[in-house]
Amino acid sequence: MSIPTLALELRLRWRMTAIAAGALFSFLLMLGALFPAIGGTFGQLKVGEGVSNLLGGADYGSLNGYLKAEAVSILAPLICGGIAVAFAAGSTAGEEEDGILSLVLAHPLQRSAAVLGKAAGLALAVLALGWVNWVGLVAAVALAGGGIGAGDLAAQSLHLTFFALVLGSLGLALGAATGQRALALGGAAGFGILAFLINGFAPLVGAIEWLKYISPFYYYSGHDPLSNGVDFGDLAVMGVSALALVAIAVAGLRRRDLRG
């Protein structure tokens, strides 16, 4: 792995990551501050099962359900997954399209070392977002009057980190294998949206229920880490998927001609 490449990735993309982290933290604080005023007002929303699945149960009557509906189910994975995809697409295909990667790889740097440096940068950025998510949730729960342990909040944040890592690694693989920024961004983001919908609606139809297993959302929140703590099986699936995608990124960049 190239340490200079890792350091540069963090330097080039810290601002984007910090802005996203700040937005996530602020939103979580706002949610926590609002809960005492609106908690219990809505109760369990009467919505279809699919929408209820998308909202993590749509239970606004409890702090746990409220956080799941407002942050855990959509917003946190949207921010963290989105940043991971943007990070990955920019660092591989983006640099290639800009003509920078050709210059860098004309230096004594193995392509695999370059990809691994970028993947490590992505992992650190995602880890930072996961940590901010945890701190934000701890603060939100405190503002809301307590009721969820820091351990469960950490479990949810850990699942979020792994989830974002999977989407980011997909962006990395697509970017490294094709050199096309739009394909890396669009492909990984599109898969994320599709995975979200599959996770919500596939369980409603017996014939396609199995599709939920290809959705990282299933492993992110399917076993409800906010209530049940860490599910190591889910983390393993996401971790192995991310590693496999990074391996594809390495192989993809090594086997092909560079553009630009």
Cβ proximity to another protein: between 108 and 146 the closer is 108
As a whole number of angstroms, the distance between CA 73 and CA 95 comes to 32
Cβ of residue 88: shortest distance to another protein, in angstroms?
A: 17
Return the residue of 1, 8, 30, 247 that touches another protein, per CB under 8 A.
8
The residues near 193 (Cβ < 8 Å, ≥ 6 apart) are none
Residue 108 engages another protein in binding (rule: CB under 8 A)? yes
Q: Is 118 helix (H, G, I), strand (E, B) or coil?
A: helix
DSSP class of 205: S
Return the residue of 40, 110, 236, 240 that touches another protein, per CB under 8 A.
110
The residues near 251 (Cβ < 8 Å, ≥ 6 apart) are 177
Report CA torsion sign: 220, 91, 2, 113: positive
Residue 103 engages another protein in binding (rule: CB under 8 A)? yes
As a whole number of angstroms, the distance between CA 14 and CA 8 comes to 10
Site string for another protein, 221-260 (x = CB under 8 A): ------------------------------------xx--
> By CB under 8 A, what part of segment 53-72 binds another protein?
none
Cβ of residue 101: shortest distance to another protein, in angstroms?
A: 9
DSSP class of 62: S
Return the residue of 12, 45, 127, 230 that touches another protein, per CB under 8 A.
12
DSSP class of 202: G
Number of Cβ within 10 Å of residue 16's Cβ equals 14
As a whole number of angstroms, the distance between CA 53 and CA 197 comes to 10
Phi, psi (deg, nearest 5) at residue 256: -125, 170
Cβ proximity to another protein: between 59 and 95 the closer is 95
Return the residue of 37, 41, 46, 107 that touches another protein, per CB under 8 A.
107
Cβ of residue 180: shortest distance to another protein, in angstroms?
A: 16
Cβ of residue 80: shortest distance to another protein, in angstroms?
A: 23
Residue 105 engages another protein in binding (rule: CB under 8 A)? yes
Cβ of residue 249: shortest distance to another protein, in angstroms?
A: 18
> What is the contact surface with another protein in residues (CB under 8 A)?
2, 4-5, 8, 11-12, 98-100, 102-110, 257-258
